[in-house]
Structure 1
Amino acid sequence: MKKYLSFMCGILVVFFGNAQEKKLAVTDINMENIKYPFPVKELPLQIQGQDLKMAYMDLQPQKPNGKTVLLLHGKNFSAIYWEQTAGDLAQAGFRVIMPDQIGFGKSSKPTNIQYSFQLLAQNTKKVLDELKITKVSVLGHSMGGMLATRFALMYPEMTEKLILENPIGLEDWKTVVPYQSVDDWYASELQQNYDKMKAYQKEFYYGGDWKPEYEKWLAAPAGWTLHKDYPIIAKSSALAYDMIFTQPVVYELENIKAPTLLLIGQRDRTALGKAKAPKEVQQTLGNYPALGKMTAKKILDSELVTLDNVGHLPHIEAYGRFIAPLLAFLNK
């Protein structure tokens, strides 16, 4: 009887998993079939001998306060997930710039360039230069926090304020985690599908609690896995993972000059390659309560806001608790 029940449960899991995948729409390689919340513009770039395009949204407030906020997305997302944040910032008078980095969202997906945070910061500055913006407050989430930090270090004269929302790169994983080559990351990315991506986000982003509103941020990237050109996406993603793993910002935090707000969900335990680390090391990685305090001590002019029982995505999981301190900090 037990064997029969286990067999039937297995059939149901496969059935409903396949049913969900059948309902999932295929996402075009540059998200041409995905509607963004605000008009999208493109900036042509020539990078390492290639003609590429960088997509971005530029949301203008009805009653401008003269300030601009730059929102930088994380690794498993694009600028689309800033919809609510950008709307409220614009309502408060801020102009809001939301780029899709090269390799993400509606931007080009090159598979044979060297990805670096310096390159992404340069590209982002070119967008601002195109728009004749000379001063910004920079908000980065997850991988975007690494990029925001690099931007602030490279362009201190442009960076009025820095906001880091559960940034990664606050510890050097490569000192304790075995190195994975781009080929290793690529092979892993080729195995991705909706069910795997949802299981990862549910466990590591939302503490095992999945809500219907999270689906919209998963559907588009999961839809890539159904596209005939998904290997291009997978290779671009693998190059980005290598960039993240090999270019931590932890050693340069003391050099940040801009006033900085750290918004840290305390349940977060994100760490790249954690599963490949020795068992005794795994428990020490991605300890955001400790990482937040450590980072606040390193950045001279910083303020730490801790968000209890919130994971890696405060602006999605606990929006009210995220936006209030953000607006207070920006309006100082």
Structure 2
Amino acid sequence: MASHEEWTNAQQHQEVTVDGKDLDMAYYDEGEGDPVVLLHGIPTWSYLWRDVAEALTDDRRVVVPDMVGYGNSAMRDEFDRSIRVQELAVADLLDGLGLDTVSFVGHDLGGGVGLRYAVHRPDAVDRLVLSNAVAYDAWPVEPIVNIGLPSTAKDKSVEEIQETLDGMFRQSLASDDPSDEFVEGMKAPWNSERGMVSLVRDAAATNTNHTTEIDPSDITADTLLLWGADDEFQPIDSAERLEGDIESAEVVGLDDANHWVIQDRPERYVEELRSFLLDGESA
């Protein structure tokens, strides 16, 4: 298991262009074979996927971006951070890497990006995996709305934001003894004035219109809805609704897993993911 510093050192950088803005995008890129993209949500970053990426690199080329405004990607002001922009930024990154077709795995907000990407580029997505993803109009959740209030950047200190995030991560893990390495790693990008302001901008950019304007039934890729069954932020009901709307979709609910399903059930998550990506069937 890499530390967040080691993960940062392993990242590469590429410039992407969205809405006429040139933005630096950090990403992890290891392994050989058919490419799979792993995309985080809010308020996480690519480090969320550290163990999953390692488990896949023997068989796949694994690309794990930091969305713009997150992690080690561009954090300055003056650009949109909505799902619409994240989709375009990821598309530009993958085009720059010469990846015409990928398997796409998204968690939380990254799942919303995956939904849009699979709808708008059906020939570019071989397999789609959504985990506790934002969809329809069932987001943003209250903690993210509160972080995105304009007053947050003015009235809150970095230390107060860190405490808020600490509570959010620990309370939404199924484990009674959550990993300090996971929590501290997830909080790391936001532990500065620049990071705090960027997180506020990220949260303020959450826009339900960007998932309600697409029709999941347009997705043609084989789809696995690999869900933490105990999630209160994005309940498994949402996965079941997606299963009904996407022709080739299956729900696999992981018990004893909350919103951070990748951290709660790492071995089972990897088992199901590898089976779907490599064999085309759930374990």
Whether the TM-score (by the shorter chain) exceeds 0.5 is yes
2:271 matched to which residue of 1?
324
Distance in 1 separating the partners of 2:69 and 2:221:
28
Which runs of structure 2 are paired with 1:119-268 in the superposition (5 Å)? 119-173=85-139, 182-184=149-151, 186-187=153-154, 190=157, 192-206=160-174, 208-221=176-189, 224-225=190-191, 227=192, 230=193, 232-250=194-212, 252-268=215-231
1:83 matched to which residue of 2?
50
Is it true that 1:101 corresponds to 2:45 in the alignment? Answer: no
CA deviation map 1:204-237 (0-9, x unaligned): 233654234434433513xx33x3xx1x333322
TM-score w.r.t. length of structure 2: 0.85
Distance in 1 separating the partners of 2:87 and 2:150:
25
1:36 matched to which residue of 2?
7
2:255 to 298, 308, 318: 308
Distance in 2 separating the partners of 1:259 and 1:239:
34
Which runs of structure 2 are paired with 1:275-286 in the superposition (5 Å)? 286=234
Q: In 2 relative to 1, CA 168–47 (structure 1 residues): closer, same or farther, beyond 3 Å?
A: closer
Q: Contact 1:205–1:268 at 8 Å: present in 2 too?
A: no
Deviation of 1:167 (Å): 0.6
TM-score w.r.t. length of structure 1: 0.73
Pick which of 50-59 and 101-110 moved more.
50-59
Distance in 2 separating the partners of 1:58 and 1:139:
15
Distance in 1 separating the partners of 2:253 and 2:187:
29
Q: Contact 2:31–2:61 at 8 Å: present in 1 too?
A: yes
Which runs of structure 2 are paired with 1:280-295 in the superposition (5 Å)? 286=234, 288-295=235-242
State the identity as a percent.
24
CA deviation map 1:179-199 (0-9, x unaligned): 877514545765634333222
Distance in 2 separating the partners of 1:207 and 1:169:
26
Q: In 2 relative to 1, CA 261–46 (structure 1 residues): closer, same or farther, beyond 3 Å?
A: closer
Q: In 2 relative to 1, CA 188–295 (structure 1 residues): closer, same or farther, beyond 3 Å?
A: farther
How much is the aligned-residue C-alpha RMSD, in angstroms? Answer: 2.7
The structure with more radius of gyration: 1
